[in-house]
Amino acid sequence: MNKKIILIGIAAIILIGGMISLQYYNRIFADNIRKTGSVFIESKDDLLDLKKKIASFLKDKKAFNWVAVQKKFTNPKAGKYTLKKGMSNNDIVNLLRSGNQTPVKVTFNNQDTLEKLINRIAAQVETDTTHLMRAFLDPNFLKENNLNKKTVLGIFIPNRYEVYWTISAEKFRDKMLKEYALFWNAKRVEQAKSLNLSKKEVITLASIVQKETAQKIERPIVAGLYLNRLKKGWPLQADPTIIFCIREKKGQNTVIKRVLTADLKIDSPYNTYLNKGLPPGLISMPDVSAIDAVLNASKHNYYYMCANTDKIGFHTFAKTLSQHNRNAEKYHRWLNKKGINR
């Protein structure tokens, strides 16, 4: 009888022990993520901040808290992390402790100014506008790369770039410089040389082409026209540079629908009506199509262009001044009829 009781007691202990062990095992290794999604852990976040951010993902918050204590997990590493449905508390702790981030894809396109570019980037990574501005305009960086506040925008090629969300402003800047170097492969460098243009000059001309026409199919023609003028030693007389000058004086949000005769007299090195050759730097961030339009400019005998009133968004090109004057007169009549004065 005593032997039977002892056996029953041992069995009960084993059963209870097994149940306890299973409970502990489930706390550590059972599925505790209800949905797949991303969480952003900031550098200033502590464990309490982390718990708040992942609360909506957890099936059992207490179980996670218990595992965090057992694994002495107190300092999560900053970054973007992907929590996948089916992950256990052990998986979660190991992931957030390891710093094994999910990269983010930073995108930007055709930002008119460095300030606008920085705001765009800061919205996609942890670092802020102040640190980005300081890094991009670091005097040593500018000097080493023969850049200045006006031309540094030219090293940013619009695209999608994969980086870690916690990337520092300096590392992001340096990555962009490397991407710029990769963009200027042997073929593009040779094309620039054949045009007697430096990389910076190509970027500057591309920025004008970019602003002159949104039609990608038309950009090689526009680029060819400006190159014809450069070869002749004529002023470019590019209205986008005048608009740039106006916004430099009156603010970047100034709306300009029509360039006036008085605007052509603005005293600025960017005024391509008063100054021959290219302006000292780009007037906006050109995209790849605009840059390649310059490098692969159409060969033709056009020297003049005017907005096309029959095909809005396009231009009418002319080889002679008399042809251009007729086109321009038609365009100005159209502007007046529309009541577009500024």
- DSSP states of 129-186: HHHHHHHHT-HHHHHHTT--TTTGGGG---EEEEE-TT--HHHHHHHHHHHHHHHS-H
pLDDT digits (tens, 9 = 90+) for 50-94: 999 999 999 999 999 999 999 999 999 999 999 999 999 999 999
CA 189: distance to chain centroid? 24
- Give the domain extent around 167: 104-183
> Is 159 found in the same domain as 30?
no
Q: Does 208 or 13 have the greater pLDDT score? A: 208
> Is 146 found in the same domain as 190?
no
Q: Above 80 in pLDDT, residue 29?
A: no
Amino acid 2: pLDDT: 65
Among 131, 166, 183, the domain boundary falls at: 183
Does residue 205 fall inside a structural domain?
A: yes
**What is the percent of the chain with per-residue pLDDT over 90, rounded to a whole number?**
82
> Is 129 found in the same domain as 74?
no
Distances (CA, A) of 180 to 106, 110, 184, 239, 251: 15, 15, 6, 28, 29
Does residue 6 fall inside a structural domain?
A: no
Q: What is the mean pLDDT of residues 200-227?
A: 97
> Is 86 found in the same domain as 120?
no
> Is 156 found in the same domain as 133?
yes
Does residue 4 fall inside a structural domain?
A: no
DSSP 100-125: -PPPEEEEE---SSHHHHHHHHHTTS
Amino acid 110: pLDDT: 87
Does residue 143 fall inside a structural domain?
A: yes
Among 183, 210, 230, the domain boundary falls at: 183
Residues 6+ away with beta carbon under 8 Å from 299: 224
Q: What is the mean pLDDT of residues 227-231?
A: 98
> Is 154 found in the same domain as 285?
no
Q: What is the mean pLDDT of residues 294-311?
A: 95
Q: How many domains does the chain have?
A: 3
